[in-house]
């Protein structure tokens, strides 16, 4: 079975940086697309960034505004989200989700993803 484990969430001050990691096991990494989602209390889960490995495309939510960068290391089966200039409104649980890339139509739709991690908490506060 596909297993996903996120890490890297922490308490950080506004303007700070974090790097989240998503480690995938149980399947080949190369055929999958990965999306970072986030969910704040009382709000819907929303897509943050996607990377697709069949064509190398990346996607970013509008609220990212150039502050985040998604990348991957196939040898380590790991996807990263580098976040800079964090704001209090970035506070949320961040989830890593995976799907077979050839089936992906809408990269920020939660129903596209059968595999999810447990999430990692990011808190931006002074």
| Segment 19-44, tens digit of pLDDT | 999 999 988 778 899 999 999 999 99
Q: What is the pLDDT of residues 98-108, one digit of tens each?
A: 998 877 889 99
Which of 7, 76, 73 lies closest to 36 in space, CA to CA? 7
Kindly report, residue by residue over 80-96, the tens digit of the pLDDT. Answer: 999 999 999 999 999 99
Local structure of 101: helix, strand or coil: helix
């Amino acid at each position: 079975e596909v297993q996903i484990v996120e890490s890297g969430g922490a308490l950080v001050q506004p303007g700070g940086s974090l790097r989240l990691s998503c480690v995938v096991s149980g399947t080949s990494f190369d055929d999958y697309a990965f999306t970072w989602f986030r969910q704040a209390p009382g709000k819907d889960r929303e897509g943050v960034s996607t990377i697709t490995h069949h064509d190398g495309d990346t996607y970013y939510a509008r609220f990212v505004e150039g502050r985040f960068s998604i990348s991957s290391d196939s040898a380590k089966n790991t996807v990263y989200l580098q976040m800079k200039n964090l704001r209090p409104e970035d506070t949320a649980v961040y989830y890593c989700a995976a799907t077979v890339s050839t089936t992906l139509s809408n990269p920020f739709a939660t129903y596209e993803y059968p595999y999810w991690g447990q999430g990692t908490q990011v808190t931006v506060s002074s």
